[in-house]
């Protein structure tokens, strides 16, 4: 796993749980408004943190921290994500995955193997504007497939959209809400300009 950052404590990133956050390096999207460029553009990458450092921390904090949030960048592009999570699950932590929804087969696999307890997926835009918000073309069926995989699972989940004021309108938000079954599971995130890191 390429780990570009680690936050030892959070009360807000796993709903109702005390968590720590692992930030993976690398992303397959190029959202022009991204405020995690350090985790997206290889030229900004720092030397990755060793996995052992994280596992050592988790060993020491057992009983104090309840959950591990894996975010990015985009965690599902890491080839050894499942193996990494397996090790965390063996230590009895809850695991939340933040994803941009571009990789439904990996989501399916993680859910099937009970490796994730919570998934938060970003829905960046209504279909017509997706390319604009993620800075590239994408096969939108992947996004819809991820939404379906998550909705049909029995784990906790949420969908979220960062309201980027100069790229999205209120009408776009209404269109995004139509992409999910349960509007109550979709939330809007504030757009931050100078804060790092605030989202996946």
Q: Strand 118-122's sheet: what is its strand order? A: 3-14, 17-24, 67-71, 94-99, 118-122, 156-162, 186-189
Q: Of 141 and 154, which CB lies nearer to ligand SF4 in the complex structure?
A: 141
Cα 129 to Cα 30, 135, 162, 167, 186: the distances in Å are 14, 10, 14, 9, 18
CB of 37 to ligand SF4, least distance (A): 8
Q: Of 26 and 117, which CB lies nearer to ligand SF4 in the complex structure?
A: 26
Q: Of 91 and 188, which CB lies nearer to ligand SF4 in the complex structure?
A: 188
Phi and psi angles of residue 90, each rounded to the nearest 5 degrees, phi first:
-60, -20
Name the token pair of 128: 């017509």
Q: Report how far residue 67's alpha carbon sits from residue 71's, in angstroms, rounded to the nearest whole number.
A: 13
CB of 5 to ligand SF4, least distance (A): 12
CB of 35 to ligand SF4, least distance (A): 7
Q: Of 58 and 120, which CB lies nearer to ligand SF4 in the complex structure?
A: 120
Exposure class string for 144-169: b at 16+ Cβ within 10 A, else e: ebbbebbeebeebbbbbbbbbeebbe
Q: Report how far residue 56's alpha carbon sits from residue 81's, in angstroms, rounded to the nearest whole number.
A: 18
CB of 3 to ligand SF4, least distance (A): 14
Q: Report how far residue 191's alpha carbon sits from residue 167's, in angstroms, rounded to the nearest whole number.
A: 11
Q: Of 19 and 162, which CB lies nearer to ligand SF4 in the complex structure?
A: 162
Q: Of 4 and 65, which CB lies nearer to ligand SF4 in the complex structure?
A: 4
CB of 19 to ligand SF4, least distance (A): 19
CB of 71 to ligand SF4, least distance (A): 8
Binding site for ligand SF4 (CB under 6 A): 27, 29-31, 34, 36, 39-40, 72-74, 100, 200
Q: How many CB atoms lie within 10 A of CB 119?
A: 23
């Amino acid at each position: 796993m390429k780990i570009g950052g680690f936050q030892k404590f959070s009360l807000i990133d796993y709903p109702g749980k005390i968590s720590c956050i692992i930030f993976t390096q690398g992303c397959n999207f190029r959202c022009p408004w991204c405020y995690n460029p350090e985790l997206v553009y290889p030229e900004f990458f720092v030397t990755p943190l060793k996995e052992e450092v994280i596992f050592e921390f988790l060993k020491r904090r057992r009983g104090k921290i309840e959950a591990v949030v894996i975010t990015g960048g985009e965690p599902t592009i890491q080839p050894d994500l499942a193996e990494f999570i397996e090790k965390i699950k063996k230590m009895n932590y809850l695991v939340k995955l933040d994803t941009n929804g571009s990789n439904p087969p990996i989501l399916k696999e993680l859910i099937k193997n009970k490796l994730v307890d919570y998934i938060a997926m970003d829905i960046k835009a209504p279909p017509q504007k997706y390319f604009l918000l993620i800075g590239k073309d994408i096969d939108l069926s992947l996004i819809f497939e991820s939404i379906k995989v998550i909705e049909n699972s029995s784990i906790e989940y949420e969908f979220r959209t960062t309201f980027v004021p100069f790229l999205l309108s209120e009408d776009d938000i209404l269109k995004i809400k139509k992409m999910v079954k349960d509007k109550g599971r979709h939330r809007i995130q504030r757009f931050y300009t100078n804060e790092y890191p605030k989202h996946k």
